[in-house]
Structure 1
């Protein structure tokens, strides 16, 4: 093989390694960020698509033996060595994906979809690329339904939180329904979270209309950088730091004068063993900080030290926060 041919094969060998790493049981947040940076280079993205095609289609192995061998070798190495995610306390589980291209899910790759039901388990994140070019990122414990039709694009957010990057198409509105709340967009980026009887809509870019399903004509038009909270009392809006509000996409939770009860609620969404506030009067105390999703120990330590609290481990594995005895 000539030097130029070897050089041309380099991205494909790297793609084979990435395919193996992302197919492991868990993937560290840092690994995901590194992968996105690598995949942003067009030749790397093309190589990844070719590698994935080889992996999915057994007949392709004979057609391109060099590429097939690279994939097989990378898979073998990945099985022999521990995954970086296995050593990390904070990880994104099966389902980390290629932005705008594919979605890695349990059992393989989920390609562009026009309809279906998608879920994430506790501590997992997932990205799906829709048939219209839109991309949806699902947070932990999220379930949504997708239906792409000729004149409209519909999403039902049954639970959890998702970030929507909507492909521009003025002829087909993109509608997200979360309980009694509907969000209508054409081409924009926004986040929707269901929180009990409330729904938070955070607009990163573009314009969306927020309304009740029962009264679609009474809509609130949002501007970028704002968050709308929809409850039985109506719709309230406020300016927010959208990077902080969508930090979960990067495996981060950012709190700025956030009531302790709300911060604990966010951290708990990623935890099998929860944090419990033992004194109701602590719920309104503001907290600040940046934490990895799922890092209970770091959050408990910070809250204990900053607020002079007592942290007690309970028999069921949860941790209770109370005021320290004087």
Structure 2
């Protein structure tokens, strides 16, 4: 009985239900942001990190970090040696660039906003120029694509933008900014491709938009829980 209880407590510490409290990994990070929080960290004169919501980083050196999870915009300001960002199965190197990096699950999405950034994974190297995007995970990398205009950096202006994205992705993103949890219970609804833009501070308004525009049934429960069906 005692062993089962201890195991249950360990699981809750590693994976809190519905994100009700920070996990042990989050608490052990050198820097982290909570739900809806954004934070700027100047690690050196050559490297500044703008952290988005629910983001965790460890500092490996003054110009080197590991993105454990979440999203950040990195500014590399003419460093003599490249600043480096480790994330998932790869790492990024840049000397003079501004780029957005998003690490959710096993996938890492890198978007070059200005300058150039090198992406290194599985002994391969790809240079991204401004306006280009690359997604990789443990299994490899997708082809370089043109980044949707303004989408990757929309959060820096206090907005979220989705063009031709499944509604399930919109709900996942809302959950990163909103206390509580939105649960999508209709798989067909989740597959619908949508076009939406809304303020980070108006996530409840975004849920009302989903209800009104896409015919979702919305049920609000205590603790910030919302059911969409």
TM-score bracket, normalised by the shorter chain, equals: 0.7 to 0.9
- Structure 1 counterpart of 2:83, from 153, 174, 187: 174
More helix by share: 1
If the length of structure 2 is used for normalisation, what is the TM-score?
Answer: 0.81
Deviation track 1:190-222 (CA, whole Å, cap 9, x = no partner) reads 01111111111111011111122xx3x311221
8 Å CA contact 1:156–1:178 kept in 2: the answer is yes
Q: How does 1:293-308 map to 2 (within 5 A)?
A: 293-308=200-215
Q: How does 1:83-102 map to 2 (within 5 A)?
A: none
Q: Distance in 1 between matches of 2:68 and 2:203?
A: 26
8 Å CA contact 1:203–1:242 kept in 2: the answer is no
Deviation track 1:269-297 (CA, whole Å, cap 9, x = no partner) reads 01121221111122221121211114232
Q: Distance in 2 between matches of 1:305 and 1:227?
A: 33
Are 2:107 and 1:194 aligned? no
Distance verdict in 2 for CA 1:218–1:133, change over 3 Å = closer
Are 2:199 and 1:292 aligned? yes
Give the RMSD, CA atoms, in angstroms: 1.8
CA displacement at 1:316 relative to structure 2: 4.2
Deviation track 1:163-215 (CA, whole Å, cap 9, x = no partner) reads 0011112x311110012221111110001111111111111011111122xx3
8 Å CA contact 1:202–1:242 kept in 2: the answer is no
Are 2:94 and 1:208 aligned? no
Q: Distance in 2 between matches of 1:182 and 1:242?
A: 24
8 Å CA contact 1:207–1:222 kept in 2: the answer is yes
Deviation track 1:121-170 (CA, whole Å, cap 9, x = no partner) reads 11111111232233210011111122446xxx31111121110011112x
More strand by share: 2
Structure 1 counterpart of 2:21? none
Q: Distance in 1 between matches of 2:224 and 2:160?
A: 22
Q: How does 1:222-261 map to 2 (within 5 A)?
A: 222-236=128-142, 237-261=144-168
* Counterpart secondary structure, 2:198: strand
Structure 1 counterpart of 2:38? 125
- Structure 2 counterpart of 1:310, from 217, 226, 229: 217
Question: Number of aligned pairs?
Answer: 200
8 Å CA contact 1:123–1:270 kept in 2: the answer is yes
If the length of structure 1 is used for normalisation, what is the TM-score?
Answer: 0.58
CA displacement at 1:242 relative to structure 2: 4.6
Q: Distance in 2 between matches of 1:242 and 1:137?
A: 20
Q: Distance in 2 between matches of 1:117 and 1:317?
A: 29
- Structure 2 counterpart of 1:146, from 29, 36, 59: 59
Are 2:172 and 1:265 aligned? yes
Unmatched runs of 5 consecutive residues or more in structure 1: 1-115
